[in-house]
């Protein structure tokens, strides 16, 4: 019997793209429920997500991606979680199948999607830090991440290190044709310092999480799923 899959999509003011993410998830035969967590959105994100078929949780104030993910996970008991960013373009049911199949079959405990940034992304993408928000994983992996590591870009680093420290198999899949609505498209040149802060947070997060696991501060048990 196939294990239940819940797609959880954190979103803040993503009315331009949210339906294009929700609809493939709703149509997918591998996904059993689709939950959008509107993280204090002030536009039509929630309305468009509902129209596309998602169950929507409205947070009154913006709490951050990690808190939104945690909130979504608490509203489902599905043993397999599919995280998707809300600003994707070009997502299809085939991409979701490629993400989910290795986890559902048990060959991987987590599978991460690499977005299409051109020819080189297929080659160098798997060699870069795997910080993409598109990932299918065994629920227990997420549940081991301490709340203090669910901030900023620490979420993805924490999930990676949770797998690595417990010897769990994880990998990536290239998602041809999948792009995102960039920060430049959202806010123009204000995106430049945002990108700078983003990559600084990514690097900082990797070192914080690495040190936490190396020092034994983070101690958790994850049992293999069948």
The maximal CA–CA distance of the chain, rounded, in angstroms, is: 50
Q: What is the mean pLDDT of the chain?
A: 85
Give the integer Cα–Cα distance in Å for 12 and 41.
5
Could you tell me the pLDDT band of residue 110, with boundaries at 50, 70 and 90? Answer: very high
Ranges assigned E (strand) in 78-203: 80-83, 88-89, 110-115, 135-138, 170-175, 179-180
Average pLDDT over residues 67-73: 95
Average pLDDT over residues 34-49: 98
Mind listing the pLDDT tens digit for each residue in 152-190?
667 888 898 889 888 999 999 999 999 997 544 565 555
Does the pLDDT value for residue 43 go beyond 50? Answer: yes
The answer for residues whose C-beta is within 8 angstroms of residue 139's C-beta and 6 or more apart is 73, 78, 79, 80, 81
Could you tell me the pLDDT band of residue 2, with boundaries at 50, 70 and 90? Answer: confident
188 versus 29: the higher-pLDDT residue is: 29
Average pLDDT over residues 25-44: 98
Quick one: pLDDT at residue 221?
46
Average pLDDT over residues 16-33: 98
Q: With the CA atoms of 90, 76, 146 and 39 taken in that order, what torsion angle do they form, in degrees rounded to the nearest 10? A: 50
**Least confident segment among 65-69, 86-90, 194-198:** 194-198
Burial-class residue 216 by CB neighbours within 10 Å (0-12, 13-18, 19+): exposed
HSE-CB of 198 using CA atoms within 13 angstroms: 11
């Amino acid at each position: 019997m196939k294990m239940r899959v819940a797609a959880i999509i954190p979103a803040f003011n993503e009315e331009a793209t949210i339906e294009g993410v929700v609809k493939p998830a709703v149509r997918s035969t591998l996904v059993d429920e689709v939950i959008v967590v509107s993280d204090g959105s002030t536009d039509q994100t929630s309305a468009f997500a509902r129209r596309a078929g998602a169950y929507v949780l409205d947070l009154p104030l913006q709490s951050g991606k990690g808190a939104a993910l945690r909130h979504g996970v608490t509203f489902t008991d599905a043993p397999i979680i599919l995280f998707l960013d809300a600003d994707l373009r070009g997502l299809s049911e085939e991409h979701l199948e490629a993400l989910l199949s290795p986890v559902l079959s048990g060959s991987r405990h987590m599978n991460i999607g690499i977005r299409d940034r051109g020819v080189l992304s297929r080659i160098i993408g798997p060699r870069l830090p795997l910080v993409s928000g598109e990932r299918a994983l065994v629920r227990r992996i997420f549940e081991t991440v301490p709340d203090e590591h669910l901030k900023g870009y620490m979420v993805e680093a924490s999930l990676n290190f949770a797998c690595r420290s417990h010897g769990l198999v994880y990998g990536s899949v290239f998602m041809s044709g999948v792009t995102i609505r960039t920060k430049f498209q959202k806010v123009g040149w204000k995106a430049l310092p945002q990108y700078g802060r983003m990559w600084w947070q990514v690097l900082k997060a990797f070192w914080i999480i690495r040190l936490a696991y190396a020092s034994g501060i983070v101690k958790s048990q994850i049992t293999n799923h069948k």
